[in-house]
Amino acid sequence: MKCKGNSIGRRSFLQVGFLGGLGISLSDYFRMQEVQGDQKFYESVEGPAKSVIFIYLPGGMAHQETFDPKPFAPLEYRGPMSSIETVVPGIRLNEMLSKTAKVTDKMTIIRSMTHGEAAHERGTHNMFTGYRPSPALQYPSMGSVVAHEFGPRQNLPPYVCIPNQPNEFAGTGYLSSSFSGFSLGADPASDGFQVRDLKLPNGVNDGRFGTRRKMLTAVNDYFANKEKSDSLDAVDSFYNRAYSLISSEKARDAFDINKEDAATRDRYGRNTAGSRMLLARRLVEAGTRFVTLTYGGWDMHDNIENGIRRQVPALDQGFAALIEDLDQRGLLDSTLVCLASEFGRTPKINGTAGRDHWPKVFSVVMAGGGIKNGTTYGTSNATASEPDENALTVEDWAATIYNRIGIVADKELMAPGDRPIEIVDGGKVIQDLIV
């Protein structure tokens, strides 16, 4: 029976009574209900991209010396390096990307990415969250949003960072810390690579392991009845995931790069870039939903030619191998690969033969996971200084990624203070990028 004059049923009435004991008034209750009622909610359903590999190149990769060369521009804009043809007529890449040039038919190169943040931290925030930084709120990374919406699969963490969380903006933001990325704690390129906390401690056998888990469950149940908080939930979530990882041989094997044969290791390259990309493939193949990995340092204010010649070969080998390998295994259609940096570099070569920060236009690469292939999207102008056609904002880019995953970008998640916040504010799905 409902009370006259309002819509509170018996269950809600009892709930209000309980909340009153916690010092929450009837008006507070109605306010909470109103906020939840106004919240935009859409059920997330897996899209064509079952997993995402986000390859982040920290420092600001020069688009002119990688994916948007300008061979006909004046030397001070073109720079000292040459470009090469790819398997797609009309698409040229830097001379050092010879292996990537052979798989260009399996990707889309976006040459019109743009935002207004020339500082590393602010640009990085944009690319990981789809938001400009705000002093009022910490936004969650795309990996944490995916973990929140879909959760784990096959006993594997839904969100993994290789080798560790690369920056503070790759975290959970206003979401619970239980949705943070699982950090390896070690580099897969290092000798004796071993993921932290994946093995039982010395002296602990399976029997003792099971007993400890039961004891932990009892302790968690006790405290759950006494106190409810994000920190307790997060600790409980982390422990449960750790137990799942340790107890599942299949899950543990996904992190063991040494399970790969020598030919595959050589194909990717036995270096930082190749090893991290190979491990990313192993993880998405096993069930991880979102993998973030970093490679290199791309803040090339001085002698950019030497910097590119030092950094690009390993990236070129590993990235091309990753795309080919995913394709040959039948995984590319279900795995969205994104390669990006926080911004590009200045149009003109500076006085120390380098390029400085330039967010007005830069390049990102997308492949697989329901993205068109063998094409480019957008163009920069003749000097690579600003977008010429189809400028792509960070919000539109993020909305398109979420669309391929199966998440509606303007869905609202609840931030502290009962504030519904859109996953992406104002972004739209770019139909010309998707199939």
DSSP secondary structure string for all residues of 353-410: B---EE-SSEEEEEESTTB--SEEE-EE-TTSSSEEES-EEHHHHHHHHHHHHT--TT
User: Residues for the chain: how many in total?
Assistant: 435
Question: What are the pLDDT digits (tens) for 183-231?
Answer: 999 999 998 898 876 655 555 555 554 554 455 455 455 445 555 555 5
The pLDDT tens digits of the residues spanning 238-256 come to 556 655 666 688 888 999 9
Q: Does residue 73 carry a pLDDT above 60?
A: yes
274 neighbors 268 (Cβ within 8 angstroms): yes
Q: Are residues 241 and 108 in the same domain?
A: no
Confirm if 322 and 337 have CB atoms less than 8 A apart: yes
* Residue 39: pLDDT over 70: yes
Q: The tokens of 318 are what?
A: 């590993």
Domain count, the chain: 2
pLDDT surpasses 90 at 234: no
- pLDDT-derived band at 313 (thresholds 50, 70, 90) equals very high
Same domain assignment for residues 271 and 323: yes
Q: Please indicate, yes or no, whether residues 143 and 289 belong to a single structural domain of this protein.
A: yes
Query: Can you tell me the distance from the alpha carbon of 425 to that of 423, in angstroms, rounded to the nearest whole number?
Result: 7
Q: Confidence class of residue 267 from pLDDT cuts 50, 70 and 90?
A: very high
Give residue 353's pLDDT. 98
Say whether 109 sits in a helix, a strand or coil: strand
353 and 244, same domain (yes or no): no
Computed over every residue of the chain, the mean pLDDT equals 87
What's the pLDDT score for residue 40?
Answer: 85
pLDDT score at 273: 98
Instruction: From residue 374, give the alpha-carbon distance in Å to each of 155, 171, 262, 315.
Output: 35, 33, 30, 20
Q: Are residues 208 and 126 in the same domain?
A: no
Which range of residues forms the domain containing residue 247? 199-254
Q: Are residues 161 and 213 in the same domain?
A: no
Burial of 372 (0-12, 13-18, 19+ CB in 10 A): middle
- Within a domain: 154: yes
pTM over 0.95: no
Nearest CA-CA partner of 403 in 180, 142, 40, 161: 142
Find all residues with CB under 8 Å of 206, minimum gap 6, and list them. 200
Question: Is 4 a domain residue?
Answer: no
Handedness of CA 422, 423, 426, 431 (dihedral sign): negative
CA distance 407 to 41: 11
Give a yes or no: residue 5 inside a domain: no
The yes-or-no verdict on residue 373 having pLDDT over 50 is yes
Q: Write down which residue in 219, 235, 254 finishes a domain.
A: 254
Write the CATH number for 353.
Answer: 3.40.720
CA distance 433 to 435: 7
Taking the C-alpha atoms of residue 193 and residue 196, their distance in angstroms, rounded to an integer, is 9
- Looking at the structure, tell me whether residues 250 and 350 fall in a common domain: no
Predicted local distance difference test score (pLDDT) of residue 324: 98
